[in-house]
Chains A and B, each alone.
Chain A
Amino acid sequence: EADIYQTPRYLVIGTGKKITLECSQTMGHDKMYWYQQDPGMELHLIHYSYGVNSTEKGDLSSESTVSRIRTEHFPLTLESARPSHTSQYLCASSGVGGPSTGELFFGEGSRLTVL
């Protein structure tokens, strides 16, 4: 059972609003990730972090930003949401060995709709 939690699970907001998607893990993992997934499409890595105060952009450009002030939290923020941001956002974490061991643990996702 994965111990990684995302809130909210579903969010519908208007254009221009600021939103933060929360992600927390209780496994003490150093590495955390945000993936974006449109229906029927690949998961694309948009942000990752290897530890506190470490954040990097992934292979898909995103207007969102992330922070990693504490090991267990990796929130994602959109300062001004637009309809093009409508998507599902998946948070994941991994421990020793990281993705090389394949042991990514995923949250249940946050489905964002921007009207």
Chain B
Amino acid sequence: AQSVSQHNHHVILSEAASLELGCNYSYGGTVNLFWYVQYPGQHLQLLLKYFSGDPLVKGIKGFEAEFIKSKFSFNLRKPSVQWSDTAEYFCAVNNNAGNMLTFGGGTRLMVKP
């Protein structure tokens, strides 16, 4: 069975700091990878996704993620965070044949103004 690990449960940054949230998955085959975000009081929404091709994926609001197959990782990055990035971030994975997404435990990001 596939699993997803997010090592940082809580991250606190000041505005303009750089962000990197770790995500590792366990599955030996071809995978599709996703980052979802949940802003306070709002529903989960898709931030970015990787299916194939360029391992550096760009998403909305200046976020990007890099797929490193050898490390089974799909870390989320943003060069300069804003207060409005305060949210909970979830990494998710499914295999090409699967019909379900497996989510990590989430990372709660707080950006201080």
Residue numbers of A with Cβ under 8 A of B are 2, 4, 31, 33, 35, 40-45, 48, 50, 58-59, 90, 92, 98-109
Contact = CB atoms under 8 A, between A and B. Distances in A.
Given A48-B100, A99-B98, A106 B105 contact: no
Given A99-B99, A102-B92, A109-B43, 16 more contacts: A35-B103, A41-B105, A42-B104, A45-B101, A58-B100, A59-B1, A99-B94, A99-B98, A100-B32, A100-B98, A104-B36, A104-B44, A106-B36, A107-B43, A108-B41, A108-B42
Contacts of B36: 104, 106
B101 A99 contact: yes
Contacts of B100: 33, 45, 48, 58-59, 99
B112 interface: no
B67 interface: no
Contacts of A48: 99-100
Interface in B21-59: 32, 34, 36, 41-46, 49
Contacts of A59: 1, 100, 102
Given A59-B1, A100-B99, A42 B106 contact: yes
A106 B45 CA distance: 7
A114 B9 CA distance: 26
8 contacts: A40-B105, A48-B100, A100-B99, A102-B32, A106-B43, A106-B44, A108-B41, A108-B42
B65 interface: no
B4 interface: yes
